[in-house]
Chains A and B, each alone.
Chain A
Amino acid sequence: MTASREAGSPQSPGAVQTAPDGARLAVYCSGALRRLARLAAAAAVLAALMVADILTGPAMLGLGDVLRGLFVPAHADNMTLIIVRDIRLPSTLMATLVGMSLGVAGVHMQTILGNPLASPYTLGFSAAAGFGAALAILTGFSLPFLPWLTVPLSAFVMCVLAAALVFAFSNIRGMRPEIMVLAGIATLFMFQSAQSLVQYLAAPEVLQAIVFWLFGSLLKASWNNVPIVAVVFALTSLAVLPHLWQLTALRLGDARAAAIGVDVRRLRVKMFALVALLTAAAVAFVGTIGFVGLVAPHIARMLVGEDQRVLLPMAALMGAITMAGSSVLSKLVSPGGVIPIGIVTALIGVPFLFFLILRGQRRHW
Chain B
Amino acid sequence: MSFQIQDLSVSYGKTAIIRALDDHWPKGQLTALIGCNGAGKSTLLRALAGLSPMQGRLFFSGRPLSPEDQRRQVAYMPQDTSAQSSLTVLEVVLLGRLGNLGLRLPSGMADAAMTALDTFGLTQLHDRQLDEISGGQRQLVFLTQALFRRPKVLLLDEPTAALDLRHQLLVLERLRQIASQNGTVIGLAMHDLNMAAQYADRFIGLSGGEKIASGATTDVLTSDNLRRMYGIEARVTRDTADNVQVLPLRAV
Contact = CB atoms under 8 A, between A and B. Distances in A.
B127 interface: yes
A15 B119 CA distance: 10
B112 A16 contact: yes
Contacts of A365: 84, 86
B147 A251 contact: no
Contact of A252 (B95, B99, B103): B95
A18 B177 contact: no
A261 B99 contact: yes
B197 interface: yes
Given A10-B119, A27-B126, A256-B83, A246 B147 contact: no
A200 interface: no
A252 B83 contact: yes
A20 B87 contact: no
A9 to B, nearest CB: 7
Given A1-B198, A21-B111, A258-B51, A248 B182 contact: no
A356 to B, nearest CB: 14
Nearest to B88: A305
Given A2-B242, A246-B98, A259-B78, A14 B127 contact: no
Question: For B75, B96, B115, which residue has the most chain A Cβ atoms within 10 angstroms?
Answer: B115
* Interface residue range, chain A: 35 or more
Interface in B171-211: 172-174, 176-178, 181-182, 184, 197-201
A255 B80 contact: yes
A79 interface: no
Contacts of A71: none
A365 B129 CA distance: 10
Given A4-B173, A251-B85, A253-B83, A25 B182 contact: no
A14 B184 contact: yes
B23 interface: no
Interface in A1-57: 1-5, 7, 9-18, 20-21, 24-25, 27-28, 31
Contact of B86 (A2, A260, A362): A362
Given A14-B150, A363-B131, A21 B173 contact: no
A309 interface: yes
Interface string A230-254: 0000000000010011101101110
Interface string A340-362: 00000000000000000000001
A363 B184 contact: no
A306 interface: yes
B1 interface: no
Contacts of A266: none
Contact of B116 (A9, A16, A31, A362): A16
Contacts of A13: 116, 119-120, 144, 147-148, 174, 178
Contacts of A260: 75, 95-96, 98, 145, 149
A255 B42 CA distance: 12
A1 B90 contact: no
A264 to B, nearest CB: 10
Contact of A306 (B51, B86, B177): B86
A77 interface: no
Contacts of A4: 172-173, 176, 198-199
A363 B129 contact: yes
A251 B243 contact: no
A108 interface: no
Contacts of B182: 12, 14-15
Nearest to A7: B173
Interface string A255-275: 110111110000000000000
A17 B80 CA distance: 29
B178 A259 contact: no
B226 interface: no
A24 B150 CA distance: 21
Contacts of A301: 86
A20 B80 contact: no
Interface in A215-238: none
A173 interface: no
A137 to B, nearest CB: 43
Given A14-B150, A17-B112, A260-B75, 17 more contacts: A1-B200, A5-B176, A10-B174, A13-B144, A13-B147, A13-B148, A16-B113, A28-B110, A28-B111, A248-B87, A252-B87, A252-B95, A259-B75, A260-B95, A261-B71, A362-B132, A363-B129
27 contacts: A4-B198, A13-B120, A14-B181, A14-B182, A15-B150, A15-B181, A16-B148, A20-B111, A24-B114, A27-B126, A28-B114, A244-B103, A245-B95, A245-B102, A249-B95, A251-B87, A252-B85, A252-B92, A255-B78, A259-B76, A259-B78, A260-B95, A260-B149, A306-B85, A306-B87, A362-B132, A363-B86
Nearest 9 Cβ contacts at the A-B interface? A13-B119, A13-B147, A7-B173, A24-B114, A16-B116, A245-B101, A28-B110, A306-B87, A259-B76
